[in-house]
Structure 1
């Protein structure tokens, strides 16, 4: 991939060759922390007629393996940016969170630093921003958090419903107590990036229809809205008589030329066969550590799954006091898993929406640990330097078999052990279709709820 960069006044212009003849032109016009764009993302081509390109984040822990500290620090840096914006203070690049993202340090305090006077309701977008939203929430001493979900729970009504129109999995649901929203508190929406902002406008419209209030904030790592998109938010503010604050780490405009012409690359099996697979049941090893939420689900190919969810996932709502306790629970799991590990180079994998707690646990494990997650996003795999999806695997979701899942960028012979985290027990036969592709010498599958 060839990247060309031209600096003109305060803006930076970049031309990125994604996959020939597809090019992405970036005009970065807001960069308060002086990030190089390739410190935050790479580009890839999506298998999606609605949007052909994807910003593959290097700090999110989704499609690319990262130091888990980076994912947590990204949420905290966005929270720090929010606080300074609210207080009218100038942003500064002298932040420990910035240093983590720029690989200058790896340690930082994750103690909440936003005071009790700020009491927002924070909503993370599934599936990509569930961990980012909860990492952002970590900074608040007096807030509530929940994330939207793709899960379809039996006999439970979603209190709000909206669409992410460019996504492959478009429907968002919210399974929380409606009393949480029966107030005038500020709502903060957290997503990894905005291109048009249409998803954010959809959820604000849906929320405001049932739970009106005056103040909203949209937080994202990247903000690529053009003037037309920004004007749509101004029109929404005027129509609903609300204010919408925008917080991001990097902003500008994006233009795409051409569609990718994909040549099927010959598949080469670089991988060694796995030598060991093991299942770890946290409910058995650390009894009563996580609270349960009993919501059965079903899908077209499997019977009811009656194993409970964990209450602390964020799907059903969390307050700041519970979040402090969650940190100590994650530390207990990390300590236990360190006793079980056999390898030196470890990959921890979150699954679907279940991202934050695996990331937090991974950050507390000893030694060389990377973190990423499975995804529903189909991306063209292209093994070229600087491309955002160089390796890829496709498999049925162990949780909902008819849903196709993917995982990207696990290079051959990089890890000698992997820990795969599931919120609850999944079908063993469907799971095996994923595990057989990993070909990592030691595979540890960690279930927080359920025992075989």
Structure 2
């Protein structure tokens, strides 16, 4: 699993024998840790983790798996409700990737790590000192100052918990500024002495908060008298005098420095690889990383890993991904994805500021050292940086992953990192990730005039007053692709799902009869949910733009549905407001694309024609909440780039089975017949399209109007059938809305947690391939390549259409006793996925 033992020799024995240092904790601890000597006057020994991905090259699945597993333990400790409100904070530089992996394991937690790199224009939200470190000052620079504000738990992640000084100082500082009731400390190893073990409880009482500790292993280090002086003497005896040189050749017992390359260097073994990193996606947690950012990264990883794999030498068998100081998470995820899709052995580690003695001995954790000048214009001035255990490791290729701030002449200099790597491996690849800057680097000019919304009957079968589509008409463009071909392109990263359209499903006569029966059976239930969610919107709209209705002032929201599943619901909400209050509400449909955000031009149009605070976003239902997060992040990005504020990212939905929003008609997972069909229940409009060759910077996203399907269109029939039930459910709506308005409607994100659990239990390891709820399951069967359907045992008529579709497509339906949704659709995964857990075992799908 790791590098702790070399031919039966523990990688800490060299230091233990010479200094008398004793690692107490059993085999579990010595599996995780080796020992080395610091070149540091404050502390003699260094605990070298074999699973952190910093000093010791390791399988990226093992590195990520340890952090993710710790995050899962945190989530279990907190429970679903508290975990949904948690924020994770990691420590620079060593634990930035570990903290990010923990945040992934917690689930919906935003992530921030401390940094030693000041960023102009970003105010400091906190800071602290790390007394034993070679570089002590930590800065907290969140893009959103509110990230650290709130009463949810704060999870602090470091690689080791020894004296506890650094973490306790952090909590003390932050608690004074942003007090909260609970903290969780996470570390790979808990190495506190007996004297330090009781400090945590005392500290918790001192600040009046609960402080928990989660660690993968625990033990302690016993240090003899005079260990610091002995360690310094050992370093002096084994370290080569500085020759103005750098390198990692091995001479005698120590991995000594060798003369730096001078003069022009050969470039033929150094290749730049363009990752095509998604625009605007942060490179890590320096300024905050949200769950929506994570979704965007997950979507982009397959294509980026494919580009790396294509650039590797064909005969490469051992490949090393080398991250850069605080930039640990992005290289780790790239390495893990490459490990899963390429037929090569992949190892991962990162460069570091930490000066450590290198000794070529199997009983010593740092076998070789590459030294090179800092190349990112550090705030503390020029100095050396290091890459350990890379030289002499026999890698066929090394991929150096740096951020753009570090892609400087120093990186490419004769004595720079790339030249040092090139001397020790046949091929060096350079991949540069754009350094994220909170302030927009480029704001495109706003178009002089955006077009007016498209309306029926020229575009859609809805009446013109029912909805205005903030879209462009792509009806004359061939965009449809066979389902299997489309699925292959999406999962391989060759295309985004919004770049093509599925072939429109044409229902059989039997399926049409099921739709009509489902509509008849559920119309009143839908009408009640429509009325309830509309009444909540009218009761809570936070502004004073009023219209008169029978002498009673009423708010006049602007309904903006997310095309296309949200559009029938938006029309029904508009009809309810007219039926019950005489309000004629504006209603528009806009495009939002998972991983790409909301149509910014549509938001500009809305801001030019309505008060942003009047806008209420509407969708059909929630699944796991990906669109909820996507919208929140997109609104934040739009406000930052455009300077337009007031849009509320809260979504109003008919049904919220995933518990992802607070404005809903019901949280039951039941059949909404509009989910049974595609365009023929949505005004004959396709799902939206975002493709660079069709949608320019000044265009709305696109969609098609399937005029040729008019004979099968039931869009207006669906609306009329539900609206006809409004009078009979009016009293029930009043009671339901009153109950919801007075109750606790805070999201619990139970759906997201369930999806993550199902993803792991069924060996899929990709939440994007798990589609929960009746609506999403139906979409899977209509538009994707389903693998299997999970149905709650005893589910009745709500699943008749699902069972029929599954039978027609030859998809098994598996009944499950404990299922939070009525059903869940699983998309067939393309790849055989490797292990994500600490045991390193492969899981085959």
Task: Pick the TM interval, shorter chain.
Answer: 0.7 to 0.9
Contact 1:183 1:211 in 2 (8 A): yes
1:22 maps to which residue? 19
In the alignment, the residues of structure 1 paired with residue 85 and residue 150 of structure 2 have an alpha-carbon distance, to the nearest angstrom, of 11
In the alignment, the residues of structure 1 paired with residue 346 and residue 411 of structure 2 have an alpha-carbon distance, to the nearest angstrom, of 27
Matched, 1:63 2:29: no
In the alignment, the residues of structure 1 paired with residue 210 and residue 419 of structure 2 have an alpha-carbon distance, to the nearest angstrom, of 50
1:11 maps to which residue? none
In structure 1, which of residues 71, 74, 78 is the aligned counterpart of residue 66 of structure 2?
74
More displaced stretch, 327-336 vs 201-210: 327-336
3-state SS in 2 of match to 1:56:
strand
- Residues 343-380 of structure 1: CA deviation (Å, up to 9, x unaligned): 22211100010011101101111121111100011111
Matched, 1:332 2:325: no
Q: 1:79 to 1:231 in 2, by over 3 A?
A: same
Contact 1:15 1:25 in 2 (8 A): no
Shift of residue 140, structure 1, vs aligned partner:
3.0
- Residues 129-175 of structure 1: CA deviation (Å, up to 9, x unaligned): 11111111112332111111111112332110101111111011111
Q: 1:142 to 1:131 in 2, by over 3 A?
A: same
Shift of residue 43, structure 1, vs aligned partner:
0.7
- Residues 407-428 of structure 1: CA deviation (Å, up to 9, x unaligned): 1012426012111001215212
- Residues 172-209 of structure 1: CA deviation (Å, up to 9, x unaligned): 11111221122111000011101101010111011011
Q: How many residues align?
A: 386
Matched, 1:245 2:241: no
Contact 1:115 1:142 in 2 (8 A): no
Contact 1:183 1:213 in 2 (8 A): yes
1:437 maps to which residue? 420
More displaced stretch, 338-347 vs 210-219: 338-347
Contact 1:62 1:373 in 2 (8 A): yes
Task: Report matched runs for 1:260-299 at 5 Å.
Answer: 260=231, 261-262=234-235, 263-264=238-239, 266=251, 267=256, 275-282=268-275, 286=276, 289-291=278-280
In the alignment, the residues of structure 1 paired with residue 412 and residue 20 of structure 2 have an alpha-carbon distance, to the nearest angstrom, of 37
3-state SS in 2 of match to 1:135:
helix
In the alignment, the residues of structure 1 paired with residue 180 and residue 70 of structure 2 have an alpha-carbon distance, to the nearest angstrom, of 23
Contact 1:72 1:132 in 2 (8 A): yes
Matched, 1:160 2:131: no
1:427 maps to which residue? 408
In structure 1, which of residues 106, 118, 139 is the aligned counterpart of residue 84 of structure 2?
118
In the alignment, the residues of structure 2 paired with residue 264 and residue 146 of structure 1 have an alpha-carbon distance, to the nearest angstrom, of 37
In structure 1, which of residues 311, 321, 342 is the aligned counterpart of residue 282 of structure 2?
311
In the alignment, the residues of structure 2 paired with residue 190 and residue 53 of structure 1 have an alpha-carbon distance, to the nearest angstrom, of 21
In the alignment, the residues of structure 2 paired with residue 368 and residue 418 of structure 1 have an alpha-carbon distance, to the nearest angstrom, of 12
Matched, 1:137 2:103: yes
Contact 2:83 2:109 in 1 (8 A): no
- Residues 213-244 of structure 1: CA deviation (Å, up to 9, x unaligned): 11000000001112322333223212211111
Task: Report matched runs for 1:50-449 at 5 Å.
Answer: 50-86=42-78, 118-176=84-142, 177-257=144-224, 258=227, 259-260=230-231, 261-262=234-235, 263-264=238-239, 266=251, 267=256, 275-282=268-275, 286=276, 289-291=278-280, 311-342=282-313, 343-365=316-338, 366=342, 367-400=344-377, 402-412=382-392, 414-425=394-405, 426-432=407-413, 433-438=416-421, 439=423, 440-449=425-434
3-state SS in 2 of match to 1:36:
helix
In the alignment, the residues of structure 1 paired with residue 152 and residue 126 of structure 2 have an alpha-carbon distance, to the nearest angstrom, of 17
Q: Give structure 1 stretches of 5+ with no counterpart.
A: 4-13, 88-113, 292-309
Contact 1:140 1:320 in 2 (8 A): no
Q: 1:195 to 1:335 in 2, by over 3 A?
A: same
In the alignment, the residues of structure 2 paired with residue 330 and residue 166 of structure 1 have an alpha-carbon distance, to the nearest angstrom, of 37
Shift of residue 403, structure 1, vs aligned partner:
3.6
Contact 1:274 1:442 in 2 (8 A): no
Contact 1:116 1:141 in 2 (8 A): no
The structure number with the bigger radius of gyration is 2
In the alignment, the residues of structure 1 paired with residue 134 and residue 170 of structure 2 have an alpha-carbon distance, to the nearest angstrom, of 17
In the alignment, the residues of structure 1 paired with residue 62 and residue 377 of structure 2 have an alpha-carbon distance, to the nearest angstrom, of 30
In the alignment, the residues of structure 1 paired with residue 14 and residue 20 of structure 2 have an alpha-carbon distance, to the nearest angstrom, of 5
In the alignment, the residues of structure 1 paired with residue 307 and residue 101 of structure 2 have an alpha-carbon distance, to the nearest angstrom, of 23
Contact 1:423 1:448 in 2 (8 A): yes
In the alignment, the residues of structure 1 paired with residue 72 and residue 279 of structure 2 have an alpha-carbon distance, to the nearest angstrom, of 29
1:9 maps to which residue? none
Query: Counting helix residues as a fraction of each chain, which structure ranks higher?
Result: 2
Q: 1:417 to 1:329 in 2, by over 3 A?
A: same
In the alignment, the residues of structure 2 paired with residue 339 and residue 430 of structure 1 have an alpha-carbon distance, to the nearest angstrom, of 24
Q: 1:312 to 1:394 in 2, by over 3 A?
A: closer
Contact 1:15 1:24 in 2 (8 A): no
Contact 1:281 1:449 in 2 (8 A): no
In the alignment, the residues of structure 2 paired with residue 81 and residue 117 of structure 1 have an alpha-carbon distance, to the nearest angstrom, of 11
3-state SS in 2 of match to 1:184:
coil
In the alignment, the residues of structure 1 paired with residue 118 and residue 72 of structure 2 have an alpha-carbon distance, to the nearest angstrom, of 34
Q: 1:373 to 1:327 in 2, by over 3 A?
A: same
TM-score by length of 2: 0.43
- Residues 93-139 of structure 1: CA deviation (Å, up to 9, x unaligned): xxxxxxxxxxxxxxxxxxxxx67853210001110111111111112
In the alignment, the residues of structure 1 paired with residue 86 and residue 176 of structure 2 have an alpha-carbon distance, to the nearest angstrom, of 19
Shift of residue 430, structure 1, vs aligned partner:
4.0
Q: Give structure 2 stretches of 5+ with no counterpart.
A: 6-10, 241-250, 436-845
In the alignment, the residues of structure 2 paired with residue 115 and residue 358 of structure 1 have an alpha-carbon distance, to the nearest angstrom, of 31
Of structures 1 and 2, the one with the larger relative CO (CA 8 A, separation 6+) is 1
In the alignment, the residues of structure 1 paired with residue 54 and residue 393 of structure 2 have an alpha-carbon distance, to the nearest angstrom, of 20
In the alignment, the residues of structure 2 paired with residue 238 and residue 116 of structure 1 have an alpha-carbon distance, to the nearest angstrom, of 21
Give the RMSD, CA atoms, in angstroms.
2.7
In the alignment, the residues of structure 2 paired with residue 117 and residue 125 of structure 1 have an alpha-carbon distance, to the nearest angstrom, of 20
